[in-house]
Amino acid sequence: MERRKFIKNSSLSAAGLVSASTLAACKTDTKPEVAPASTIPVQTAVKPIVVCTWNFFNATEKAWEVLKSGGNALDAVEQGVRVEEADETNETVGKGGRPDRDGNVTLDACIMDKDGNCGSVVCMQNIVHPVSVARKVMEETPHIILAGKGAEKFAYEQGFKKEDLFTESTRKQYEEWLKTSKYETTINIENHDTIGMLAIDDNGDIAGACTTSGMAYKVAGRVGDSPIIGAGLFIDNEVGGATATGVGEEVIRTVGSFLIVELMRQGKSPQEACEEGVKRIMKKNEGRKDFQIGFLAINKNGETGGYCVHPGFTYREYSENGHENREVTSFYE
Ligand code: SD4
């Protein structure tokens, strides 16, 4: 067939396809089919409730205050993780986060609400509260992710102040590190501080946030899983939410948090879903033991669960039932 005729024919048939599908949609007048989350009762059994990765007492306390006074889950998670961003002793989040190998402190964060709205900033410098910039991206722009200098410029436009994110301690550590400049992509197994937080408010609505400075001494420009929707965080208000901590590259390769929420949609408990998530990662890394990953999940009922590669990952939970730091089971003993 001549090329011109072919193009004409194919555009005609494409037009045919469109009108056929439009017709079909008109006829049935139904919403697109999605697998129902029917195994999860709509009523939230435990609410309000907040959970976060690791033992961040003050952050969950702050989120709980918001929830307890009738605030929504989105405000709760933003206010909660901001506590860690401002805490200079937490050296993998916000101010006091460790720098990349070139000496830049670059932050990643994201936030997601009950309607699937989300915002994210990646590789942003000089701003203490990337989670709040991420929320502004979500609410004030038609975009989802802003990166680097663009994110920083946007933050200033939104009224955020420029601040040096180094502390005396992180500057000293960096100078020490420069002596050998040993670059390892693995994260020390015991010590992670990235905060991922999930909350359900009085209305039964779910939101989540995640914020980090990422891996210490990473290659300049590196972005991990934490600000990537679906990897470091995912919320589906019909089902639940999930968040991750640990070596982000492995979480991204498995689209970890989205995977866990989908597994819950299919009927798994948060615990079972987190276990399956870690097992998928370990299947791709058979025999590898030099990295840690921790998943945390909550379902619409307020049931929670977590699982990790190596022992040591905990999550903090706060609801009317109590306030506790829970140790989770792990793939390796
Ligand atoms: C990252 N997932 O940038 C983060 C690091 C982390 O505790 O969780 N640290 O890959």
Task: Say if CB 235 and CB 207 are below 8 A apart.
Answer: yes
Task: Give the residue whose CA is nearest to atom 5 of ligand 1.
Answer: 214
User: Around Cβ 127, how many Cβ atoms within 10 Å?
Assistant: 25
Q: How many domains does the chain have?
A: 1
Q: What value does the CA radius of gyration of the chain take, rounded to a whole number of Å?
A: 21
Task: Report pLDDT for 187.
Answer: 52
Q: Which whole-number Å values give the CA distances from 52 to 32, 58, 325, in the listed order?
A: 33, 11, 10
Using alpha carbons only, give the angle 44, 47, 49 rounded to the nearest 5 degrees. 125
Spatial distance between the Cα atoms of 219 and 234, rounded to a whole number of angstroms: 26
Give the position of tokens 């020490």.
176
Task: Give the residue whose CA is nearest to atom 10 of ligand 1.
Answer: 248
Inside any domain, residue 2: no
Domain CATH for 111: 3.60.20.30
Question: From the CA of 202, how far away is ligand 1's center (Å)?
Answer: 30
Inside any domain, residue 250: yes
Q: Please state the rounded mean pLDDT for residues 237-263.
A: 97
Q: What tens digit of pLDDT does each residue of 12-49 get?
A: 343 333 344 444 444 455 666 666 654 555 555 789 99
278-313 residues labelled b (16+ CB within 10 A) or e (exposed): bebbbeebeeeeebbbbbbbbbbbbbbbbbbbbbbb
Give the active site residues: 194
Quick one: pLDDT band at residue 287, thresholds 50, 70, 90? confident
Inside any domain, residue 29: yes
Name every residue whose Cβ is closer than 8 Å to that of residue 71 and which is 6 or more positions away in sequence. Answer: 79, 201
Task: Report pLDDT for 5.
Answer: 37
Domain range for 119 is 20-330
**Ligand 1 pocket test target in 105, 218, 245 with most atoms within 8 Å of CB:** 245
Strand order in the sheet with 233-236: 233-236, 240-246, 293-299, 304-308, 329-330
Inside any domain, residue 313: yes
Main-chain dihedrals φ then ψ at residue 128, nearest 5 degrees: -70, -30
Quick one: pLDDT band at residue 87, thresholds 50, 70, 90? very high
Task: Report pLDDT for 42.
Answer: 53
Inside any domain, residue 178: yes
Task: Say if CB 299 and CB 40 are below 8 A apart.
Answer: yes
Spatial distance between the Cα atoms of 174 and 296, rounded to a whole number of angstroms: 31
Ligand 1 first shell, C-beta below 6 A: 92, 187, 192-194, 212, 214-215, 224-226, 245-248
**Least trusted range by pLDDT, from 40-44, 123-127, 259-263:** 40-44
Inside any domain, residue 253: yes
Q: What tens digit of pLDDT does each residue of 188-246 get?
A: 544 567 999 999 999 999 999 999 999 999 999 999 999 999 999 999 999 999 999 99
Q: What does pLDDT average to over the chain?
A: 88
Measured from the CA of 218, which atom of ligand 1 is nearest?
3
Inside any domain, residue 12: no
Task: Report pLDDT for 3.
Answer: 38
Strand order in the sheet with 49-53: 145-147, 118-124, 107-112, 206-212, 195-200, 49-53, 314-319, 322-327
pLDDT reading at 85 higher than 70 = yes
Spatial distance between the Cα atoms of 145 and 159, rounded to a whole number of angstroms: 19
Give the position of tokens 């909350």.
199
**Ligand 1 pocket test target in 192, 233, 251, 254 with most atoms within 8 Å of CB:** 192
Q: Which whole-number Å values give the CA distances from 18 to 10, 13, 27, 108, in the listed order?
A: 12, 9, 14, 40
Alpha helices in 141-247 (DSSP H): 148-157, 168-180
Inside any domain, residue 6: no
